[in-house]
Amino acid sequence: MSAVYPAGVTRVQGETLSLSTSRASLGLFPSTHQLVLYNPSTDFRLHLNPHLLDAVFYDESADSGAEYLKTGTIDLPSAFRDRNATNGSGTLLDSSTTSDFLYLCFYDIIGGVHIVIGSANATSATVAATYRKNDDSWANLSPTDGTASGGATLAQTGDITWTAPSDWKPASLGGPQGIFSATDAPATYGYWMRLAWGAGLDSDTEIDEVWSVNKDANRGYFRKGTEYSFSIDRRKVGAFEVILASGTDTLQVTHIRTSQ
- Please indicate, yes or no, whether residues 82 and 144 belong to a single structural domain of this protein: yes
Q: Are residues 126 and 235 in the same domain?
A: no
Residue 4 covered by a domain: no
How many CB atoms are located within 10 Å of the residue 97 CB? Answer: 13
Residue 2 belongs to some domain of the structure: no
Question: What global pTM score does this model have?
Answer: 0.89
Residue 92: domain span: 51-213
State whether 84 and 198 are in the same domain.
Answer: yes
Question: Are both 224 and 209 inside the same structural domain?
Answer: no
Residue 258 to residue 260: CA distance in whole angstroms: 5
Distances, alpha carbon 40 to alpha carbons 14, 101, 155, 160, 246, in Å: 15, 43, 34, 30, 14
Structural domain count of the chain: 2
Question: Cα dist. 64→58, 61, 86, 181 in Å?
Answer: 11, 9, 30, 20
Q: Beta partners for 252?
A: 16, 38
Q: Is residue 116 part of a domain?
A: yes
| Dist CA 49 CA 237 (whole Å) | 6
- Domain boundary pick from 213, 231, 246: 213
pLDDT means per 10 residues, the chain with 260 residues, are: 66 95 94 94 98 87 65 70 77 89 95 96 96 92 97 97 96 60 59 95 93 96 97 94 97 87
Same domain, 73 and 139: yes
Do 19 and 111 lie in a common domain?
no
Q: How far is CA 79 from CA 88, 121, 210, in A?
A: 5, 19, 9
**Tell me, what's the pLDDT at 26?**
97
Residue 245 domain flag = yes
Same domain, 114 and 188: yes
The CATH code of the domain that includes 159 is 2.60.120
- What is the DSSP track for 181-224? -TT-TTS-EEEEEEEEESSPPPSS-EEEEEEEE-S-S-PEEE-T
Quick check: is 3 in a domain? no
End-to-end CA distance of the chain: give it in Å, rounded: 10
Whether residue 19 is found in the same domain as residue 59: no
Q: What is the reported pLDDT for 184?
A: 41
Q: Are residues 132 and 200 in the same domain?
A: yes
Instruction: Assess whether 100 and 169 both reside in one domain.
Output: yes
Q: Specify whether 245 is located in the same domain as 193.
A: no
Within a domain: 190: yes
**Cβ neighbours for 65, distance < 8 A, ≥ 6 positions apart:** none
**Shared-domain flag, residues 89 and 121:** yes
Indicate whether 220 belongs to any domain. Answer: yes
Q: Which of 224, 231, 230 is nearest to 251 (CA)?
A: 224
- Is the C-alpha dihedral spanning 32, 36, 39, 40 positive or negative? negative
> Does some domain include residue 1?
no
The CATH number for 230's domain is 2.60.120.10
pLDDT score for 72: 47
3-state secondary structure of 244: coil
Residue (of 238, 243, 236) closest to 219 by Cα position: 243
Whole-number pLDDT of residue 82: 81
Dihedral of CA 51/57/58/63: which sign? negative
